[in-house]
Each structure stands twice: as structure tokens, then as C-alpha cells.
Chains A and B, each alone.
Chain A
Amino acid sequence: MRALVVIEIDRDACVGSSVCVALAGEVFRLDSTGVSAVKNPAGASVADILEAAEGCPTMAITVRNVETGGVVFPRELGTGNGERGASP
């Protein structure tokens, strides 16, 4: 099966929770240092890969559309911490 997404892992952000492995074990594995690595980007449905990315406690997983390169996860979330300061 052809991969529909490109999966990037921020190795510095990864804390080895292995949530991604629990949710999409055909796609992710932990390497010998306990950090997540991509085993097979076509190993699960895009929905399952997104579920694994969203489940990551440190948002270490970025998922891109393989054709456009556009980011599918994380989507824009209103995470800015400056919001409050900007309002009166």
C-alpha cells in the first residue's frame, strides 16, 4: 500500500510514552534509545495515524499530506499564550 502521508517525529520532543506504538503499532516503533521512529507510513489508515499523532503527549508527531506537503496535524489550535495579554 502506498503511503498517503509523510510522518515527521521531533526526536527532542519525544518522551518515549509509546502512545503512538499502542495506537498504530504497524506505523511506529521505539528505537533502541526509546525514541519513536516511523516503521511504515502505510501501515495503518490515515485516521489511525492521526489518532496516534493527536494522542502524543508532547505533540512530537507531525503528519503531512504526501502530495501537497501541507500539515494535516497539528492543525492550528489557538494555543498562543499571549492571547490573554492581547485582550483588555
Chain B
Amino acid sequence: MATLSAELLPADRDRFSMLIRYLAKWFVFADPPYHTRARMLVNKAFSPTSAERLRPRTRAIVDDLLAEVRARGSMDFVGAFAQHLPVMVIAESMGVPVEHRMMIKEWSEEISGLFFIKANEPDRRERSQKGLAQLVDYLAPLVRERRAHPTDDLISALVLAEERGDLLSEEEVLATCTLLLFAGHESTTFTLVNGLLALLRHPDQWNRLRSDPALAKGAAEEILRYDGTVKATFRSIKETVVMGGKTLESGQRALLVLASANRDPAKFTDPDRFDISRSPNPHLAFGNGIHICLGAPLARVELQETFLALASTLPGLRLATDDIEYQITIVNRAATALPVEWQP
């Protein structure tokens, strides 16, 4: 990642060389042509059509997770549900054993400190590099195994592409796997949480969804607009441009505040109102342009299936507290817990 390298002192560049090297191979941070080469290898697996094929399996995982808690009458939605579903879906697609998901989550959490800018963690770069190294060490044998015995999972697809045309080096394959595994669940987890919070804080909207499941699609879009977890993304300015009367100089960095665009009164009528039937809803929660979120179609399926299931299987679902604590980060908004209760 050029920006990480640029912000570090030379001595730190040595210290964080592994982190810099791998993140430069995350296509989300790369420019074409590498970006396009790497992304196109996995694009089909994340297309809307592919995401639809994962809908029945996603629904089954949702039902299993809810079946485990239903009789209890209460749960922490983060700990009992939201931190499991997305990592299970992405791990299964990739061919990573789902029973290792808590380990994967721990390393991802460490990695995330760098991007989400944990304000209270001055050692976030060290922790991010360590988390990434652990994830790479974990994935390397899986990648070797798929090279010897390919299956129909995503890791195999990447390995086969590598062998077919020397499209990606071994390190690029590993970097891409870490990217997919990491980016494939963190933000979905917290958008599920923010979404349930928004729905339960707007009982009129929650009741509309309960009585009309066809609103699930619109509800997912409105959740993304209203409180999608990724509030901003970074860009490095490559060429000086004038935008909105301001000059952005080559070499500067810009923070694109998606959350602000999503409440733009010029684009959205009554932007602070949460309305699950809002249409059109051209929100930017997944970004825009060549770096638009690869996993958007899959995240949509996960959001839709989760809220449909919650609406139909947990009667009287409500917040158990109004006192919600958030992680102290700059670019994402993530509740640390979401206690809810219902009639078992």
C-alpha cells in the first residue's frame, strides 16, 4: 500500500516490510493493471448470479444460528449471530474450514486496526502486521493443499488460474486469499448489527418488514445508506484536480466520507429518515467506480436473509438496552455488543 509506505519513516518501512508488501498486493489498494488482473480472477465468484446461488446455503446458516438461541429468549446479536454468519459464508466459499472461524476473526480484528484507524491503539501497525502474518501462515498450507488437490472452492480457482497462465504469483494468491477472507466478513458483521439496531429503533419500519417480506431488499439498501459500517475510504491523489472549488494536489491523501454522501439532501429526500421502501436509493455504502465492493452482492444476500429470518422467527424482538457502546475507530462504526430479547 503506497500510502502506508509513504507515511512511515525509513526505519519503520523495514519494520513493516511484510505488511507493506502484502497490502500492495491487495487489489483493493492497487491500480490497474494489477488491480484488474487480480480482481477479474475472483469477480465471477462474487457476481450477483453467484451470490444468488449462495442464498439457500446462507439461509440455512442463518436458520442454524437462530435455532441455537431461539429458546433462550435473549442474546447478544454480535456474539451469537453477526460475528458468525459472514465469516462462515466466506470461509465455506473459499474452502477454509468454518470451525477455524474464531481464529480467523481474531487475526482479522488485529489486521483491521490499521484500516479502521483504532484511535486508542498506537501499536496498531505492529498488531496489524502480526495478525496478517498469522493469517498468511494459516492459509499457506491450505493453498499448497489445493494446488495438489484442487476442488471447486475459491482457493482452488485462484491456484488453477495461477498455474494456467502465471496470472498471479504464489505470494499474490496468498495476499488475495487474505484480502477475501478479511474483507469478506468484517464489514458485513457490523452492517448486520447497525441494521438490526436501526430496525428495532424504528418499530414502524420493523413492523412493515414483518408484514411484508418483499421489503427485505429495500430494507437492506436503506440500512446500508442509513448506517452502513464503512463510513469513509482513503484515496491518494495521483493528478492534481479541482473538485467542488477545492484543489486536490498530487501526492495528497483524501478521505471520501461515504456516510456524508449517503445523507446528502441534494440526493435523498429527508435524508435522516429511515425508510425501508426508499426508492430510488443510490447510496454509496459500497463505494463507486473500479474499487466498488467486490462482495456487495453477497453482503446484500446476507443482510436480506438475516432480517427476513429475524422478522419471522423471533416474536416480539426488541432491544434489551439503549446503551450501545462502539469501537473507537475513525472510518467504521461498529457496536461492540447488541443485547436483544424476544418471547421464546
Contacts and interface: CB of A to CB of B under 8 A. Distances in A.
A1 B307 CA distance: 49
B150 interface: no
B250 interface: no
B40 A19 contact: yes
Most central of A16, A77, A85 by chain B CB within 10 Å? A85
Interface in A22-52: 22-23, 34, 51
Given A57-B48, A81-B308, A85-B214, A23 B294 contact: no
Q: How large is the interface on A (under 10, 10 to 19, 20 to 34, 35 or more residues)?
A: 20 to 34
Contacts of A56: 47-48
A56 B308 CA distance: 26
Q: Is the interface of B mostly helix, strand, loop or mixed?
A: helix
Nearest to B48: A59
Nearest to A17: B292
B291 to A, nearest CB: 8
Kindly name the residue among A55, A74, A80, A84 whose own CB sees the greatest number of chain B CB atoms within 10 A.
A84
Given A78-B52, A84-B312, A57 B47 contact: yes
Given A22-B40, A59-B48, A81 B294 contact: no
B61 to A, nearest CB: 14
A56 B327 CA distance: 34
Interface stretch (B140-148, B241-249, B282-290): B282-290
A77 B51 CA distance: 11
Given A22-B39, A54-B47, A81-B216, 5 more contacts: A19-B43, A55-B40, A74-B49, A77-B52, A81-B213
16 contacts: A12-B282, A15-B286, A15-B288, A16-B288, A17-B290, A18-B289, A22-B36, A51-B44, A54-B44, A55-B44, A57-B297, A77-B49, A78-B55, A84-B305, A85-B308, A86-B213
Q: Lowest 8 A-B CB distances belong to which pairs?
A: A85-B213, A82-B214, A81-B216, A81-B217, A16-B289, A82-B213, A84-B308, A77-B52
Interface of B: 36, 39-40, 43-44, 46-49, 52, 55, 59, 212-217, 280, 282, 286, 288-290, 292-294, 296-297, 304-305, 308-309, 312
